[in-house]
Amino acid sequence: MKNKIINIPVSVLLLILSFYTLPAQSTDQCIKCHLDLDDTHAKLFKTDVHFTKGISCAGCHGGDATIDDMDVAMSKEKGFIGVPSRVNRFQVCINCHADENKMKRFGSNIPTDQYEKLKSSVHFQQSFNDQGPLADCVTCHSVHDIKNVKDPTSKVYPTKITELCGSCHSSAEFMKQYNPALPVDQVSKYKTSVHGHLNAKGDPNAAECASCHGSHEIQPVKDSRSLVYATNIPSVCSKCHSDAKLMAAYKIPTDQYEKYVKSVHGIALLEKGDLSSPSCNDCHGNHGAVPPGVESISKVCGTCHVLNMELFEQSPHKKAFDEHNYPECESCHSNHLVEPATDAMVGTQKPAVCVNCHSTEVNSKGYIVAGKMKSLIDSLKTEDSETKNILDKAGQKGMDVSDATFSLKDVRQVLIQSRTTIHAFNLDKFKEQIDEGFTIVNKAKINGEEAISDYYFRRIGLGFSTVIVTLLVIGLYIKLKKVEKKS
């Protein structure tokens, strides 16, 4: 990053400023005279949080607020710095805001880490026209009418902030000076989201730009320090979505995070660091965060599980689920607590998911199919393990069955593929695939059995030939003896 912090001799002036303490009880002459002059800055300043804390114009501009002579009050000798330049005006702010002791003197306990965070953020890089940092304290908080951040008229108040961030981020012309590749549609997309709708209605509790991105610490989104980096997102969303008190007014569940972290996806992302596993925003969108509609869940899951989606969409379930408003993939896999899929999910007995909707009375056709699918899987698995036993036996007897053993790998492949094929919920299609497995396993089984009978055949053969050879030897011996006697 091009963070060139500008260290101008302002620091000298700041030193003088730092001696500044609370204004004397007497009238603040800077404000008085500037109000008399009908100065707009002074008028604005009467609503500024600094004014309410007894901080005068001199708190930032220097000078002596107790003197009513303007030339003396605003003299270099009294520490007057005039109008700070754009390049280093933030120095004026951090003179207090980065100094815990000074803030305490004003009776303030708010954090003093804003500058520390900002200076390594994406926003503190040098502006393209060398006018100091791209965004500084004044860019976001304004000046002379700075408000407490919880004041609804603050520029960074939740219902105002889209305007602030959007002032740059919605301008293609402005943004291209820094990063032409960055989209400029965040605000417009945000407005279509559940968060954006509530925000537009004046609700400060819905997520806005800063609740997801933070404020002073903002990093490029691909940086692992970014609050919206995949592994950080779940805790960002859960700040609100796991807060039962906050969410009570909206009457929606607050268990998404708790379930997600236990899910196959949560474990893969958060424990194994597998970035191909979805974080909250992969299913809900970034700025357009909405729950996927019931009929579009398969599209959301399908961004990664493409085959499952395609098969599901051609299956008899697609139409039936849409009619009944069943939430597609979620009906069988859940949304936040997606667990590893196992064969126990198929069949006519719990925990098979099929029995949630199918029985001998209700949707009975599917019930029958579920039973058949389950028995197909079970019998292929049984055949597979029996065949494996047979091949093992043959192997132990020294027979070469490596080809047949190797071919069983394909059976396991068929079983894995059938877990995907099942999403067609079509018995013929499913059977066709399982049958491929049977073809392989049967061939291997025959190979194994042949090897074993070969083995016995050879043993018997060996026995036979030993006997015959022995007999021959004996015969030969007798014959020789006879010949010996004759001679």
Site for ligand HEC in 401-430 (CB under 6 A): 419-420, 422-423, 425
Closer of 292 and 437 to ligand HEC (Cβ): 292
Q: Does 345 bind ligand HEC (CB under 6 A)?
A: yes
Site for ligand HEC in 140-179 (CB under 6 A): 140-141, 143-144, 146, 148-149, 156, 161-162, 164-165, 167-169, 175, 178-179
Distance CA 341, CA 315 (A): 19
Chain-centre distance for alpha carbon 169: 23
- Find, among 331, 340, 419, the residue nearest to 374 by Cα: 419
Q: How many other β-carbons are positioned within 10 Å of the β-carbon of residue 404?
A: 25
Can you tell me which of 3, 6, 16, 41 binds ligand HEC, judged by CB under 6 A? 41
Can you tell me which of 10, 216, 390, 441 binds ligand HEC, judged by CB under 6 A? 216
Q: Exposed, middle or buried: residue 79 (CB in 10 Å: 0-12, 13-18, 19+)? A: buried
Distance CA 418, CA 437 (A): 10
- Per-residue string for binding with ligand HEC, 188-207, x by CB under 6 A? --x---xx--x------xxx
CB of 440 to ligand HEC, least distance (A): 19
Can you tell me which of 13, 145, 288, 298 binds ligand HEC, judged by CB under 6 A? 298
Q: Does 358 bind ligand HEC (CB under 6 A)?
A: yes
CB of 46 to ligand HEC, least distance (A): 8
Q: Exposed, middle or buried: residue 342 (CB in 10 Å: 0-12, 13-18, 19+)? A: exposed
Site for ligand HEC in 222-251 (CB under 6 A): 228, 233-234, 236-241, 250
Can you tell me which of 13, 14, 96, 270 binds ligand HEC, judged by CB under 6 A? 96
**Number of residues in contact with ligand HEC under rule CB under 6 A:** 176
Can you tell me which of 5, 15, 24, 111 binds ligand HEC, judged by CB under 6 A? 111
At 182, list the tokens: 């960055």
Distance CA 466, CA 455 (A): 16
| Nearby residues of 11 by Cβ (< 8 Å), 6 or more positions away | 91
Distance CA 277, CA 50 (A): 47
Q: Does 289 bind ligand HEC (CB under 6 A)?
A: yes
Task: Check if the beta carbon of residue 190 is closer than 8 Å to that of residue 184.
Answer: no
Q: Does 365 bind ligand HEC (CB under 6 A)?
A: yes
Q: Does 18 bind ligand HEC (CB under 6 A)?
A: no
Q: Does 434 bind ligand HEC (CB under 6 A)?
A: no
- Find, among 306, 302, 257, 262, the residue nearest to 282 by Cα: 302
Q: How many other β-carbons are positioned within 10 Å of the β-carbon of residue 71?
A: 7
Closer of 213 and 445 to ligand HEC (Cβ): 213
